């Protein structure tokens, strides 16, 4: 039997501060967890910790915990919120700097790899989840919250409700995805959630979707690490390679800034192939590789 411990007044205050500002449940959980880990590291309440504690904790995350950039920046954001908003100590923010984000390009699946991935699962539900991720480009958190009523077969769109930044948007409903969704819905006799979890009254979790992606990647013998966001990256890149303009892709992805979407210009093949290398303009002899 799981023992539910009472929430401390400080933790409740931070929770309420985030709820008032309409932070997503995922962000709320992540921030509370990050501050709790910070306090646990020093064995005392976080309101008793100051600049020197933060100074030693940040290198600890990097060198000892080998935290990823995402985990590290999450801890930074959580601590900045905690000190500035919950404790009303705005001067502490300067002691919690944002790290410089590494500029890396996303890994992309080829169309053949996507096809192999979609055919790999033996369960229809797993195939439909993978197909929906790729066909719509939705985030995994958005996929988990989809309901059957969000699909509009008359307009051929899917309504994404309260995605990142608490924004609604529409994505395309693929003519090939529609019959797959209908067959899946009828077979599983679903009621509300499009992809329920172990309990039909609750949606599938992000970890559950990630596990399905990993399993399918292994079954398809894909050497790249397969995770939900990889299908979103592949969706955007393949649209760009097909000639869809960047602004339209931005709207489909739900990016607040076109700068985020422009990342795919660096990995889309037409954008690379359309530019001639200066080496090609030299008209070098064909036997250049022949040594004297």
Q: Which of 80, 127, 139, 238 is catalytic?
A: 139
Q: Which of 13, 164, 206, 211 is catalytic?
A: 164
Contact 35, 82 (CB under 8 A): yes
> Which among 57, 134, 184, 264 is annotated as catalytic?
264
- Non-local CB neighbours of 8 within 8 Å, separated by 6+ positions: 45
3-state secondary structure of 158: strand
How many angstroms separate the CA atoms of 247 and 122, rounded?
37
User: Is 255 an annotated catalytic residue?
Assistant: yes
Q: Is there a catalytic annotation at residue 232? A: yes
Distance CA 26, CA 20 (A): 15
Q: State the DSSP string of 27-45.
A: HHHHHHHHHHHHHHHHTS-
Residue 229 is a catalytic residue: yes
> Is 126 an active-site residue?
no
**Shortest CA distance to 209 belongs to which of 227, 235, 231, 232?**
227
Of residues 13, 53, 206, 229, which has the active-site annotation? 229
Determine how many CB atoms are found less than 10 A away from the CB of residue 174: 17
Give the residue numbers marked as catalytic. Answer: 139, 164, 229, 232, 255, 264
């Amino acid at each position: 039997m799981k023992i539910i411990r009472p929430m401390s007044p400080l933790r409740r205050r931070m929770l309420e501060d985030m709820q008032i500002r309409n932070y997503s449940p995922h962000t709320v959980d992540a921030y509370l967890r990050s501050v709790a880990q910070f306090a646990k590291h020093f064995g005392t309440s976080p309101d008793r910790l100051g600049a020197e504690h933060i100074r030693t904790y940040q290198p600890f995350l990097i060198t000892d915990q080998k935290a990823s950039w995402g985990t590290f920046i999450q801890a930074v954001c959580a601590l900045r919120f905690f000190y500035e908003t919950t404790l009303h100590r705005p001067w502490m923010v300067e002691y919690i700097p944002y790290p410089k984000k590494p500029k890396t390009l996303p890994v992309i699946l080829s169309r053949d790899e996507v096809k192999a991935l979609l055919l790999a699962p033996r369960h229809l539900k797993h195939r439909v989840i993978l197909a929906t991720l790729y066909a719509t480009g939705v985030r995994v958190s958005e996929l988990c919250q989809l309901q059957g009523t969000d699909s509009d077969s008359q307009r051929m769109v899917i309504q994404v409700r309260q995605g990142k930044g608490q924004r609604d948007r529409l994505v395309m409903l693929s003519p090939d995805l529609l019959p797959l969704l209908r067959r899946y819905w009828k077979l599983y006799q679903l009621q509300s959630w499009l992809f329920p979890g172990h309990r039909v009254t609750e949606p599938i979790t992000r970890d559950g979707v990630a596990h399905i992606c990993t399993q399918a990647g292994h079954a398809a013998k894909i050497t790249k690490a397969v995770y939900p966001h990889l299908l979103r990256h592949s969706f955007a890149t393949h649209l760009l390679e097909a000639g869809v303009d960047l602004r339209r892709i931005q709207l489909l992805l739900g990016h607040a800034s076109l700068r985020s979407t422009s990342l795919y210009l660096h990995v889309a093949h037409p954008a690379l192939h359309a530019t001639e290398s200066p080496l090609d303009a030299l008209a070098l002899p064909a036997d250049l590789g022949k040594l004297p």
